[in-house]
Amino acid sequence: MRLFTAVTPPEEAVEHLDAFLEPRRAAGEFRWTRPEHFHVTLAFMADVDDFRVEEYVDRLAMSLDGLPTPELRLAGAVTFPDPSRARVLAISVVDVTGQPDGVLERAAVRARNAAVASGIEVDGQRFKPHLTVARMGGRPTDLTNWVRLLETYAGPAWPFASVQVVASHLGEGPRRSPRYETLAEVALG
């Protein structure tokens, strides 16, 4: 099965971002992420044997124990690979408490290490905290103006208190989108 470990913003943060994006969506012919799919991926695992999931959740819980629980906020813009030839438009995730040690980065490393220790292959792309709001459908697009627009966005803060382990069932959601199934929630601290 396809799994990912993620931070899911609370309903208030999702609704705030959705309200900001709603009047702007018609201006971009992108594949917009549905609000119920908003999340910040810490670790992505493309092919996981069912029998490894429980061990992964246990190792993840142990590895996240004692991690600080700062407040996070969605604010600013991110594109991949860069604004002039982007394939993904995203919102940054920032630690509003200003902790210098990068708690989201540490959580991502720990989530990925727990996967490897459980015998699960994990995507090794460089981690940059973000929440994807749109995809360009495989074609590079100049998103410079969208970056300027999203740089004005700052959502409400929320406590980073847990992560979710989610199964992604491709093509099983509305309009052949993925269907997400939360398998476990792991508390921090």
Catalytic residue positions?
39, 130
- Sequence-distant (6+) residues with CB within 8 A of 176 are none
Is the distance from CB of 123 to CB of 108 less than 8 angstroms? no
61: which 2 tokens? 């819980």
9: its two tokens: 């913003």
Contact, 85 vs 139, CB < 8 A? Answer: no
Cβ pair 37, 178 in contact under 8 A: yes
Which residues, other chains included, contact 145 with Cβ-Cβ below 8 Å and sequence gap of 6+? none
What sign results for the dihedral spanned by CA atoms 30, 35, 37, 42?
positive
Query: What single string gives the DSSP state of each residue in 118-154?
Result: TT-----PPP--EEEEEE-TTS-B--HHHHHHHTT-B
